[in-house]
Amino acid sequence: MYSCLALFILVATSSICKAKPSNMSCILTDTIGDSWFMCTWEHQTDSSLKINYTVLCNSCSNLSEICNSQETSCKSKYADIAEEITFVGDFNVTVRAKHAAWEAFSEPQVFKLREILKINPPKLKVTAVSDHLLVEWKPTYKVQRKYRCQVKYSTAANESTPEVLNKNLAELENQGIVKIENVKSCSNYTVAVRCASESAPWSDWSQEETVLTKLNQSDVKLHLWRKVAEADENRVRKVRAMWAEIPSTCQETVTYTIKQTPYKQHMTGVDHMETSCDNSICDVNQDAHRINLKVFHNKSLFVEDSVYVPAIGERLPQVTNIQTSTFEGVILVSWKAPREPVSGYMIDYTHNGNIYSWKETKYTNTTLFDLLDKKPYNITVTPLFDDKTGHSTQAHQICSNVGDPGDFTNVNVQAKHKSAFVSWSVKSQEACRGAVVNYIIFYSTQDGPQLNVTVDNTTQHISLKDLNPNTQYSVYVKAIAHTGTTKSSERLFETKRFDPALITALSVCGSILIVLVLSVGLCCAIQWKRFQEKPIPNPGNSSLGLWRPTAHDQGIWRFQPLSYPHQNIFNVADPVEVQRTSISPLTPGCHDNPASDQTVEYTDPVLVTAPDIQSEDSVERKETQHPSPPEESTELLSSEGGPLSPYRSQSSVETAPRTSKPCKSVSLKQPDKTPPVTIYVTLDMFE
């Protein structure tokens, strides 16, 4: 069984290895230096096997092997086989595949040398003329034969399939010439050419030549148009002239001149005054005018054009009912034609008032392409007829495309105990921004699920409730419109540990309590200070004063000034104690009055105020200098059953007669029935 299987594999392998070479083809290359005879074929075999290939010439008498190779192609110099293989007649070749274990031959192939001759690419020359390209080439083969050639050309910026022109050359024609017409002005073109001898294979394409075309007058389309502004107070209008300039790729130098001419003079054909315009702006009065544009090339008029500017109030046709719509970045415009016949319509449009685009159509609708994204456009339609233009009609402003809502400027969060107040603002609605339908507020903790709340487009704040205290949250807002959405940046916030209202209440109560405590303390301090500063009389600081005896008869109370010059007159205070006692008659010799007279004696316990600041020692010294009369008692008074009084007693006492010292008292005559009264008067005894 195994022997049969091995035999089957051996037979299969042998049959594969012995497969014949197939699809053999040969060419003769035309090279200026050396020409080569080359053959190629196919052979299905194991690539690991070492096989020697040989191209055999079956029709050659003296040549059996043309070339050898271990690949499926080989070549030989034509000079080595030129004696056996000529352009006269046919020749027969075969490929032999030889291995150490086997040998195989291809089917014989019959060729004509002129049919397998592949010439070299021709030499190419391209020249740009005013309105076409001139292509010239020469075949490189030395023998005069008939050739067929192809010229390939295309614009350098166009990646589409190039166009091909065919050209046959006669046997005696040694140069090919082709004109490429209908080329664009000032455009780069690439050109290549290839040729073949009768039915022989095509040569390779020549090296491509790139050439810039000339400026063609027939290609210059100025498309002159104008934009008329409103008249000023002097009825002067600014007219902006617009035209398609000659491409900057053109190497020719051109100049432009813009002038205005009154329409009446222009129509009469007589010589008229042309007024030059400043750059592309012309100042035109209320009359009708024509704006003339002339282009000069090499100082000669190259092309010109003109456009009509209607007079103010001129009755001219006008389109109505302009409708606009937008779809995928383009604007569709339609309108109703006027009753008068027109030759066409001019549509101009701009997104900023400085850069204009315009196009002409014969229909009552058009499509505007190549617009800037999300920009508002102003569109104007003007009818054209004869050599005039009608009045312009402007459509409502429309956006080329409506985008997402406006961007968020900021998102503010005020966190509380179990809630947070979120507010946001959006940039003022710019043109071509989608209108906000509603806002969605998304919030979540770091590990928790994401929650959301939706509000309408009139609300830009919300209070998030039922939050966890002392927890970090993230929040962002999304604006929803029919044309898209806009998302704000994400904000982080942390709720409070305690309720701020409780903290506020405690703070207010504590503040009130502190104020009360401070107020009470302040009141107590003030009262204590007043108590400390309250003056208390000190009898130890007092001294005595004497009444003049001469004043007794007149009933006048006089104060005997003290001998101290710095002391002030004492103040007589209200009586502090009045006692009705019987006073014994004065001792004779004390006064001039008889002893039998009854008197009322007003005795002053302390008659003189001591100095403002005076020690007790000074008081004692003064008392020594002014001893009290012997008849006066200086013993302290005592109330009944009470402590001693600080006032000195100045009642009369019996002592030895002293006539040298007058009594210091004031006596007044009183009725016989009035009992004697003793009055105590306090002096200023404060330090």
Contact between residue 670 and residue 600 where contact means Cβ atoms under 8 Å apart: yes
Average pLDDT rounded to a whole number, residues 679-683: 53
Mean pLDDT of the chain: 78
Q: Decide which of 239 and 547 is more confident.
A: 239
pLDDT recorded at residue 542: 65
Binned at pLDDT 50, 70 and 90, residue 263 comes out as confident
pLDDT recorded at residue 363: 96
pLDDT recorded at residue 297: 87
Q: Decide which of 452 and 80 is more confident.
A: 452
Q: What is the C-alpha to C-alpha distance for residues 499 and 511, in angstroms, rounded to an integer?
A: 18
The secondary structure of residue 672, as a DSSP letter, is: T
pLDDT recorded at residue 248: 83
Read off the tokens for 601. Answer: 């004696």
pLDDT recorded at residue 599: 39
Residues 557-586 have pLDDT tens digits of 444 444 444 444 444 444 444 334 333 433
Average pLDDT rounded to a whole number, residues 161-189: 88
Task: Using the predicted structure, report yes or no on whether residue 300 has a pLDDT greater than 80.
Answer: yes
pLDDT recorded at residue 611: 38
Query: If you compute the radius of gyration of the chain from its CA atoms, what whole number of angstroms results?
Result: 68
Cβ-proximal residues to 569 (8 Å cutoff; 6+ apart), any chain: 559, 561
Cβ-proximal residues to 347 (8 Å cutoff; 6+ apart), any chain: 333, 358, 359, 360, 361, 366, 368, 379, 380, 381, 382
Task: Using the predicted structure, report yes or no on whether residue 142 has a pLDDT greater than 80.
Answer: no
Binned at pLDDT 50, 70 and 90, residue 172 comes out as confident
Q: What is the C-alpha to C-alpha distance for residues 43 and 103, in angstroms, rounded to an integer?
A: 13
| Choice among 7-16, 46-55, 100-109, 207-216 with the minimum mean pLDDT | 7-16
Contact between residue 658 and residue 630 where contact means Cβ atoms under 8 Å apart: yes
| Choice among 10-14, 210-214, 326-330, 485-489 with the minimum mean pLDDT | 10-14
Please tell me whether residue 530 adopts helix, strand or coil conformation.
helix
Please tell me whether residue 78 adopts helix, strand or coil conformation.
helix
pTM of the complete model beyond 0.75: no
Average pLDDT rounded to a whole number, residues 17-34: 81
Q: What is the C-alpha to C-alpha distance for residues 334 and 318, in angstroms, rounded to an integer?
A: 14
Task: Using the predicted structure, report yes or no on whether residue 139 has a pLDDT greater than 80.
Answer: no
Q: What is the C-alpha to C-alpha distance for residues 648 and 668, in angstroms, rounded to an integer?
A: 23
pLDDT recorded at residue 586: 39
pLDDT recorded at residue 10: 43
Phi, psi torsion values for 149, nearest 5 degrees: -135, 160
